[in-house]
Amino acid sequence: MKKVAFVILALAALMAVSGCEDDDNCVISVRPEPPQGVYTVTGNGAVYVFWTAPYAGNIDQFVIKRSLSALTGYQEIGRVDAEANPDRDLIYYDPGFVDNTAQNGVTYWYAVASVNSANLESELSAEDVFDTPRPEGSVVLFDYLIEPSLAGFNLASQSAVDFDSPAADLYIDRDGSVFFVNAVGAGTVVQDAGYHDYFDEIGWAPQYGWTETEWSELIEGHIYVIRTGTSSSSYHYAKLWVVTVNSNSVTFQWAYQTDIDNPELAPGADNIEPPVTGSDKVAANAASNSSL
């Protein structure tokens, strides 16, 4: 009799678990699938985290985690409530979370986990996602013959300076209606990266191709990548996007990487070229930091 009762109970339990395949609200001890397609976008003192939800209807939250190492040390930095998904559609979180505690010049690794209605947490997302936020802004620089005190630009302080100031990394001048950017700081070189529709199409500074003349014609819509310093121990990378060319001045959008010898200038999305110096260099920079 006990054996028969046990078999009946076992079958009932199996049927209850099987029914969960059609009922996403039932509670079973199965960890959910992690999010997919996780990537980040570089900001100024911020990192924007994107992901795609798993095909499930019982996801309650997503947990965002951050580390200074690619493989270990991930700590929770925030949670996001999941959108209702009874039809198990493909849902993009675009962006899903903004890390406003990220410091410029520090490399972070990010991962996202799913939490289901049983409060069970998935494994971390599989993508190797890292980001180094950096300052960015805009500036108007004048032809040095028109306004010499506003013709130069210092990348480290992100401010306009006198064209012949020792602090100037570059300045602009003009020949007729054609403007030029001149790299004048110690070891500063410039490269015209060509026309681009938006600022973050240039995500990484190149390793080769730096002009030896240290000047370049400024063309509206072009992005110019700048390298300062005389060796890898002092290199800093930046980019300038020519927004408008005016009668006596040029309006730029700029970004400057404060982390030494780190070529990252924008997000590592699919349409952005990977770093030419490799991820080992970025990992070494991050390893030198002792805490989040």
Positive or negative: CA dihedral 182, 183, 189, 195: negative
The tens digit of pLDDT for each residue in 150-185 reads 999 999 999 999 999 999 999 999 999 999 999 998
CATH architecture of 25-131: Sandwich (2.60)
pLDDT of 13 higher than 80: no
Which residues have a Cβ under 8 Å from the Cβ of 126 and sit 6 or more positions away? 34, 36
pLDDT at residue 232 in the model: 86
pLDDT of 99 higher than 80: yes
The tens digit of pLDDT for each residue in 123-151 reads 999 999 999 999 999 999 999 999 999 99
Rg (Cα) of the chain, in Å, rounded? Answer: 26
For residues 200-209, average pLDDT: 84
pLDDT at residue 213 in the model: 77
Residue 144 near residue 168 (C-beta atoms within 8 A): no
